[in-house]
Amino acid sequence: MNWVFPILFLSLSFLQNPQIAIGGFDISKQFLEIAKQDEVFDWMVGIRRKIHEYPELGYEEIETSKVIRDELDKLGIGYKYPVAVTGVVGFIGSGQPPFVAVRADMDALAMQEMVEWEHKSKVPGKMHACGHDAHVTMLLGAAKILKDHSHLLKGTVLLVFQPAEEGGGGAIQVVDSGVLENVKAIFGLHVSPALPLGQVSSKSGTLLAGSGFFEAVITGKGGHAAIPQQSIDPILAASNVVVSLQHLVSREADPLDSQVVTVAKFQGGGAFNVIPDSVTIGGTFRAFSKESFMKLKQRIEEVIIGQATVQRCNATVEFSSKDKPFFPAAINDNTLHAYFQKVARDILGPSNVKTMLPLMGSEDFSVYQEVIPGYFYFLGMKSESNKKPASVHSPFFEVNEDILPFGAAMHASLVANYLMEFQDSETQLNGKHHDEL
């Protein structure tokens, strides 16, 4: 590392709050009780609404980052900025090993909010439609709890506020910055409108698919629609390409090896009686294994070029770019899975800790999991009053703010208890540490 993190002063909150238990998992439920206190809850709601009103896209999170830094300053928490362009990484604890991280994504989506309420997005064409405003808020809530109880932290917690999760590869830049170099584990969550409020769901091993994007330009020869024999029709070629791409999964993939190829972009032509010179198509492909992912990539290119050739057209295909990098599958560490279940059951009760099937969605949290043992899970926010909530990436998506205390307490408990367990086991095996972040 090319910088040294100063040792943080311990909080005096133990003297002010002697009822907080030391050691074991006794602190978990008390963290949730603290997060539910009116003062803390109202503070989190205010932050979340401020971020929601002014959504920012990937690597543009200037004001969001400022809100985060202002709150960390008020809490007396040190941080490094900028990380990955607009990201912030805060630090709580002794400044000494072990180091554990928890991550929240910051960016919004390029879509118009359709929910009419007092704190609707004030930026036309931009909206927090994936809950990242809640993610940031819950991590700040955890920061407040941890700062007030930093005497319990037998090591150092890194608070990773990451930009550009929505396809921009923000996690890649965070890893490349080196800020997580000595981190032993990292945790992350995502709000779920489908799960009941206060319920968590995850699994060990592969949780989310690896994903990539493709874009192809199919070029023919334009002309009048009434005399097609004098043209080479790229729309016809592109249509055959789309149909053929669907056969990659239905006829080439093992039915037990889940894969997806979706063409979601088809652009060409601007008049009813003119055959265009070219058509652009694009989409996403996903798989749970690297082998299947790379095979799909190879076959997508072969099919596009081959089918274009059959229709006398030319085709060029592009895949990964700086703006749309590949993301690996999200694979939860098996040891952390057992640990997560232990903490979650203590906070939420055994009936609220569920095991889920893998999803074809993707998350750039997987980038961290390639270099650090990591664990990702979903936290429910479905309320009794909203039986059919809108899904993420919908213009009608809404966050149930009652979720905020649960996320803050889960974050705080996972890292605080991890440091206790890790420090104890490491000290027994190796003696005291002397490394610094």
Domains, in order of start, for the chain: 13-208+329-430 (3.40.630.10), 210-318 (3.30.70.360)
Residue 17 has pLDDT above 70, yes or no: no
* CA 194/CA 388 separation, integer angstroms: 8
Q: In angstroms, how far apart are the furthest CA atoms of the chain? A: 87
Q: Are strands 87-93 and 156-162 parallel, antiparallel or unpaired?
A: antiparallel
* CA 133/CA 344 separation, integer angstroms: 23
Nearest to 328 by CA among 211, 160, 243, 219: 211
* CA 26/CA 426 separation, integer angstroms: 21
pLDDT band at residue 385 using 50, 70 and 90 as cut-offs? confident
Task: Work out the average pLDDT over 347-351.
Answer: 97
The pLDDT value recorded for residue 68 is: 98
Does the annotation place 130 within a ligand binding site? yes
Nearest to 161 by CA among 108, 81, 107, 105: 105
Phi/psi at 306 (5° precision):
-65, -45
CA 65 to chain centre: 17
Exposure string over 28-55, b if 16+ CB within 10 A, otherwise e = bbbbbebbeeeebbebbeebbbebbbbb
Mean pLDDT, rounded, of the chain = 92
Taking the model in full, what pTM does it have?
0.89
Does the annotation place 190 within a ligand binding site? yes
* CA 71/CA 140 separation, integer angstroms: 8
Distance between the two ends of the chain, CA-based, in angstroms?
7
Q: pLDDT per residue over 202-217, tens digit each?
A: 999 999 999 999 999 9
What percentage of the chain reaches a pLDDT higher than 70? 91
Q: pLDDT per residue over 87-140, tens digit each?
A: 999 999 999 999 999 999 999 999 999 999 999 999 999 999 999 999 999 999
pLDDT band at residue 423 using 50, 70 and 90 as cut-offs? low
Does the annotation place 151 within a ligand binding site? no
Bridge partners for 259 per DSSP:
287
* CA 30/CA 32 separation, integer angstroms: 5
Task: Work out the average pLDDT over 274-300.
Answer: 97
Question: CB–CB of 321/207 below 8 Å?
Answer: no
CB-based burial of residue 286 (10 Å sphere; 0-12 exposed, 13-18 middle, 19+ buried)? buried
Return the structure tokens found at 283: 């989409």
